[in-house]
Amino acid sequence: MQGISEKRKQRCDRIKAAIVLESALLLVIGMIFFEHTDFLENRTVETTADGTIKWVDFKVSYEALCKAYEYDVESHDKEVPLHWIELLAYVAAKRGGEFGVEAVSDLRSIAEKLEQKETTMAEAVKDLKYYPYYYEAYTAVLGGMVGEYEIQEEEGGPFVKKYGLKAFSPIAKGFPYSDYDDFGVSRSYGYKRQHLGHDMMGQVGTPIIAIESGTVEALGWNQYGGWRIGIRSFDKKRYYYYAHLRQNYPYYQDLKEGDAVTAGDVIGYMGHTGYSAKENVNNIDTVHLHYGLELIFDEKRREEGNEIWVDCYSLTRFLYQNQSQVHKVEGTKEWKRTFEMKEEQAKPSVSGNAIPF
């Protein structure tokens, strides 16, 4: 009997030890989870002392962009319009800036609740601490891309009013390219640095398109980017950088600093210039467009070198659905957009295609 009791005692001791070990493991996992959550929030939600955003980790997936945009367009002019940036900011605030497989389900769930008037966006986000941050950050990234505009549906034809995507892919329609997510990979020319843009590989002379309407702020040679163009959106929040343009004939016609361009305009041509202090040199091995999107919340911080560049891979995939159709200008090296467009804030285009309201 004593042997049996001893065995029972040993068995009980083993069970207790297993329970203690399991509890300890659960505690450690819980601590790691909460630390990871804090890490994600600290990594993706960064502001200065006065609340100015100092970094944006833009991780919105292609699928989420498409679904939020779909809800926005389909609900336009309905009793309960759904705004794609609000929907995306809601998911980001709920998920710590991450857009995994649950993101589209989250979008569907909140969209249905809003449409059925089970809640309002104000009620849905009231307990989401970082919603204001994500809404401001995503508005900075996407704010000029969806809205009302007018465009021709046939060359020389009348303008048709539309609501939807008014930003364009940076590559003209009908011109092949390849790409992958290369944001943040290392670069060594000149000095060690990260690749703060998106590369799109194609053919020399491929027409490069203005993604959004804006003003040309920079144009000329840069030893890193070769022949390049910098365009600032009219609301001043976005700076688009297009680099490694074609040798000898990099730009559309007489494009110059200070010109206004309209989304969809041809602004230049793909090449492989750069990596040289000497102008007009092809020192890049692969023909490609490097384009980058910089967000500007504070001009002073930007002047001090605190630039905010975002990963454009998912955004590039999303913009593919709106490519600018172009045609060759006979007897020249130029390509020109086929269908003219005008939008409320646009100014006359350098290519003569923009017609303001």
Architecture of the domain whose range is 167-342: Distorted Sandwich (2.70)
Q: H or E stretch including 260?
A: strand 260-261
Q: Tell me if the pTM is above 0.85.
A: no
End-to-end CA distance of the chain: 99
Domain range list for the chain: 56-142, 167-342
Contact 44, 91 (CB under 8 A): no
Please, what is the average pLDDT of the chain?
86
What's the average model confidence in pLDDT over 192-214? 89
Contact 263, 215 (CB under 8 A): no
Residue 6 is predicted with a pLDDT of: 61
What's the average model confidence in pLDDT over 149-161? 96
Two tokens at 294?
């910089």
Kindly report, residue by residue over 75-117, the tens digit of the pLDDT: 999 999 999 999 999 999 999 999 999 999 999 999 999 999 9
What's the average model confidence in pLDDT over 207-212? 98
Q: Is 62 exposed, middle or buried (0-12, 13-18, 19+ CB in 10 A)?
A: middle
Residue 46 is predicted with a pLDDT of: 66
Q: Which of 153-167, 185-199, 203-217, 274-288 has the lowest mean pLDDT?
A: 185-199
Two tokens at 215?
């003003």
Residue 157 is predicted with a pLDDT of: 95
Kindly report, residue by residue over 220-235, the tens digit of the pLDDT: 999 999 999 999 999 9
- Per-residue DSSP letters for 156-207? T--EEEEEEE----SB-TT---EE---TT-EE-SSS-EE--SEEEE--TTPE
Residue 323 is predicted with a pLDDT of: 98
Cα dihedral 129→235→148→354 (10° resolution): -160
Reduce the DSSP state of residue 339 to 3 states and report it.
coil
In this prediction, what percent of the chain has a pLDDT beyond 90?
75
Separation in Å, CA 174 to CA 144, 182, 270, 296: 25, 24, 14, 33
Name the pLDDT band for 50 (thresholds 50, 70, 90). Answer: confident
Two tokens at 26?
């659960």
What's the average model confidence in pLDDT over 238-254? 97
Reduce the DSSP state of residue 268 to 3 states and report it.
strand
Contact 292, 312 (CB under 8 A): yes
What's the average model confidence in pLDDT over 243-250? 98
Question: Would you give the DSSP letter of residue 271?
Answer: B
Residue 344 is predicted with a pLDDT of: 75
In angstroms, the CA 95 to CA 144 distance is 25
Kindly report, residue by residue over 11-27, the tens digit of the pLDDT: 556 655 555 455 444 44
In angstroms, the CA 69 to CA 321 distance is 12
Residue 180 is predicted with a pLDDT of: 86
Name the pLDDT band for 353 (thresholds 50, 70, 90). Answer: very low
